[in-house]
Chains A and B, each alone.
Chain A
Amino acid sequence: MTAASRGGLRRSHPSGVQRAFAARTGRTLGRRRVVNGAMIALTYLAAALTTLPLIFILALLVEKGASSIRPHFFTSLPVPVGEVGGGMANAIVGTLILIATAAAIGLPVGIGAGLYVAEYGRSRLATAVRFLSDVLNGLPSIVIGIFAWQFLVRPIGHFSALSGGVALGAMMIPLVTRTTEEMIRLVPTSLNEAALALGYSRWRTSLAVVLRTALPGIVTGALVAVARIAGETAPLLFTAFGNQFWSVRLTEPIAALPLQIFTYAISPYDDWHAQAWAGALVLIALVLVISLVARFVTRARFGAAAD
């Protein structure tokens, strides 16, 4: 605007064309500024709208869930509709058992595959594993669930905690593979070379030096993977199945927090809805604590290098 009018002032007799041009430049510049301001404001709005649901959900969870969280919620079993009290002790323990089973499968395979991909990165198998673990990671959890049903539940003849753990473990493998690979790549090559120069064989270099140095990062990756599968429901629907009673055996159906929340949420009873909110609050707390511990592990051991 100012540039255009100054241009107009310098000449004593601006022609009609020049005047029109100046006016148009002023107009378009003004419009450009308005567009600029509006679009920047829109990105602020988008960021606000993106974070709002999270704040709403967390606030609501605390508001509706906190009132049902009593000591007996953690110590007693579910009760039938109409009875007072009751808790999710079996579901909380069940979720922990399922996580442990999944980790027992997902961690060794994931870390081993990650080691391979990091060390033989240029081989054809490594490229394939990297790509396929991304593909596996993108598979819907319900597909993993019906796979585990077809693979384990159907031949055996009944639902079991083990089949649920296998389904969750299968979901962990690609997550752990990728983070392990990334963390091992961060280990300086000089460390590797130093160990080899000292006469270490390859396998001892890998395990005692490289893997050990990358351990904090791998632990973080494992925790992130655990946080991700801890809240999974779909793979458990037809495998772990849920259980209203106390069971810690791998060969029998087992209760799980997400399954219990689902069952209670779709029921028509207010008492059960309250329990569902409480369960959701506990589940979110579990997931957030694991995520925060994961961040803490990275910070504490890797220091500034992680950021």
Chain B
Amino acid sequence: MSAPVAAPGTPPLGSTSSGTGPPNGPAALGSIRGGAVGDRIYRWTITGFALCVPLLLALIALELGSAAWPAFRRFGLGFLAESHWDAVNGRFGAGPAIFGTVVSSIIALLVATPLAIGAAIFLSEFAPSWLRQPVAFLVDLLAAIPSVVYGLWGIFVLVPLLRTHVMPFLSNTLRLGGTPLFSGPAYGPSMLAAGLILAVMILPYISAVSREVLLAVPRSQREAALALGATRWEMIWDAVLPYARSGIVGGVILGLGRALGETMAVTMVIGNRAEISASLFAPGYTMASLIANEFSEATNELHLSALMAVGATLFAITLVVSAIARWLVWRVSREAGT
């Protein structure tokens, strides 16, 4: 393994030594012991690059915070709970957008989580070896499709399908039309459409993390369960899944982070209306789609600042969510890895 890796690395040892010339003999020791100017410059350079990461994050926080400040000063923290978003009369509240973000993400998680974990179990436990690679590749490919292409598919396939088949089926055939969740006319662009398209988009993330975590569960765990007489499913349910639980939860939260901030596909299918409705058939807004939809049409400073405040809120929420997810996944990989 190391031979082919070493091969491309070896030539420069000899060939470049004539350049600046690594010193020969005892003088070399001096340069290795940290006296060399080059080492110090190199160290400062890469430290500088490394510092770019926290600085960039701080800069984003600062820019968003200062742009959002006028809106927060005007409306206070009540901005987050206020349910009116009325650009014409200058009343701004992030309520509808936060509500829409939460609801569409919940739908996405409810649909995607069982499917993603099921697919991960299939890939790690049951798939015949010839099928394992192609299916894993296809699931990974799902993550590579640009958001705007999902949106295109949503507009021309998913939304018409919902309008003509799924929504009438839910409200008429299943007689759920009377319940608040499925009431109202079936336009097509709706919270339901946004949730479903998000589900498809976060599937590969949850599935990939779950698969990795499941593969990290020790063999002995499985063998012990089988030796006790468990069926294959009982082995997974009682021995493998509990062991992998916090890692899978981390994957789900990672997916949640993606769903919360997903913009284009949601903007294209959610209908973009700043109202809070219990019905999944009603159009709505998410924080991201609100920004995408109104930002370039913002009429005055306050409107712009309110949109920035929505952005800053989204920034803060995803910051917390992804920190939790990383912490969970990191904890599992530390336990399993070493």
User: Residues on A close to B: CB < 8 A?
Assistant: 32-33, 35-36, 39-40, 42-47, 49-51, 53-57, 60-61, 64, 108-109, 111-113, 115-117, 119, 125-126, 128-129, 131-144, 146-147, 149-151, 170, 173-174, 177, 186-188, 190-191, 195-196, 198-204, 206-209, 212-213, 215, 227-228, 230-234, 237-238, 258, 261-262, 265-266, 273, 276-277, 280, 283-284, 287-288, 291, 301-305
Instruction: Across the interface, name the chain B residue whose C-beta is closest to A276.
Output: B152
Report if A262-B135 is in contact (Cβ < 8 Å); known contacts: A132-B53, A138-B257.
no
CB-based contact B138/A54 at 8 Å: yes
Known contacts A39-B233, A188-B5, A231-B148: A108-B49 contact under CB 8 Å: yes
Q: Which residue of B lies closest to A53 (CB)?
A: B200
In chain A, what residue has the closest Cβ to B253?
A: A138
Interface mask (B138-175 → A, CB under 8 Å = 1, otherwise 0): 11011011111111110111000000000000000000
- State A298–B71 Cα separation when bound (angstroms): 49
Q: Which 4 A-B pairs have the closest CB atoms?
A: A140-B261, A231-B146, A46-B118, A112-B49
Binary per-residue interface labels of chain B (89-132) against chain A in the complex, 1 for a CB within 8 Å, 0 otherwise: 00000000000000000000000001111110111011100000
- Given A54-B145, A112-B49, residue A200 in contact with residue B6 (CB < 8 A): no
Interface pair B148/A233, CB less than 8 Å apart: yes
Q: Specify the chain B residue showing the minimal Cβ separation from A139.
A: B318
Contact A142:B1 (CB < 8 A) given known A43-B126, A151-B59, A261-B152:
no
Collect the chain A residues with CB atoms within 8 Å of residue B153's CB.
56-57, 60
Residues of A within 8 A of B88 (CB): none
The A interface, classified by DSSP as helix, strand, loop or mixed, is helix
Q: B-side interface residues toward A, CB under 8 Å?
A: 1-2, 4-6, 8-9, 12-13, 16, 20, 22-24, 28, 31-32, 36, 38-39, 41-43, 45-54, 56-57, 59-60, 63-64, 67, 114-119, 121-123, 125-127, 135, 138-139, 141-142, 144-153, 155-157, 200, 203-204, 207, 231-234, 236-237, 254, 257-258, 260-264, 268, 288, 291-292, 295-296, 307-308, 311, 314-315, 318-319, 321-323, 325-326
The smallest C-beta distance from B256 to any residue of chain A, in angstroms, reads 10
Closest to A286 in B: B146
Check if A234 sits within 8 Å of B233, measured CB to CB: no
Give Cα A279 to B306, complex, Å: 34
Chain B nearest CB, measured from A156 CB (Å): 14
The docked-state distance in angstroms from the alpha carbon of A132 to that of B319 is 10
Bound CA–CA A72/B248 (angstroms): 48
Q: Is the CB–CB distance between A143 and B53 below 8 Å?
A: no
Nearest-CB distance from B217 to chain A (Å)?
A: 16
Q: Chain A contacts of B149 at CB under 8 A?
A: 57, 61, 231, 261, 280, 283-284
Cβ-neighbour of B231 out of A32, A151, A186, A208 (below 8 A): A32
B-chain residues with CB within 8 Å of residue A150 when the two chains form the complex:
63-64, 67, 308
> Are B126 and A234 in contact, CB atoms less than 8 angstroms apart?
no
Interface residue from B12, B121, B207, B234 paired with A209 (Cβ < 8 Å) = B12
The verdict on A60 contacting B157 (CB below 8 Å), with A117-B50, A143-B64 known, is: yes
Min C-beta distance of A232 to chain B, whole Å: 7
In the complex the two chains form, is A43's CB within 8 Å of B121's CB? yes
Q: A50-B139, A138-B322 are in contact. Are A112 and B48 (CB under 8 A)?
A: yes
For B126, B260, B291, which residue has the most chain A Cβ atoms within 10 angstroms?
B291
Partner of A237, one of B135, B254, B292: B292
A265 and B148 contact, Cβ closer than 8 Å, known pairs A57-B153, A203-B41, A273-B156: yes
* Contact in complex: B23, A199 (CB < 8 Å): yes
Is the Cβ of B155 less than 8 Å from the Cβ of A138? Answer: no
Per a CB cutoff under 8 Å, which of B5, B31, B322 touches A187? Answer: B5
Q: Which residue of A lies closest to B1 (CB)?
A: A305
Chain B positions within 8 Å of A109 at CB level:
49, 52
Find out whether the CB atom of B54 lies under 8 angstroms from the CB atom of A129. Answer: yes
Bound-state CA distance A215–B4 (Å) is 13
Pick 8 A–B contacts, CB within 8 A, sort by A: A54-B141, A115-B49, A132-B57, A140-B314, A209-B12, A261-B149, A265-B151, A305-B1
**In the complex, which residue of chain A has the Cβ closest to the Cβ of B60?**
A147
Q: Which chain B positions have C-beta within 8 A of A301?
A: 8
Question: For A187, what are the chain B residues with a Cβ–Cβ distance below 8 Å?
Answer: 5
Q: By the criterion CB–CB under 8 Å, are B49 and A113 in contact?
A: yes
CB contacts (< 8 Å) of B268 on chain A: these are 262, 265-266
Within the complex, the shortest CB–CB distance from B232 to chain A, in Å, comes to 6
B60 CB, nearest partner CB in chain A, Å: 5
Q: Give bound CA distance, A263 to B123, whole Å.
A: 39
Which residues of A have CB within 8 Å of B20?
204
Measured CB to CB, the closest approach of chain A to B57, in angstroms, equals: 6
Q: Which residue of B lies closest to A130 (CB)?
A: B53
| Complex: chain A residue closest to B124, CB-CB | A43
- Tell me the minimal C-beta distance from A155 to chain B in angstroms: 11
Shortest beta-carbon distance from B333 to chain A in Å: 12
Which B residues are in CB contact (< 8 Å) with A208? 12-13, 16
Central interface residue in A108, A135, A262, by most chain B CB within 10 Å: A135
B126: contacting residue among A44, A55, A139, CB under 8 A? A44
Contacts of A284 in B (CB 8 A): 145-146, 149
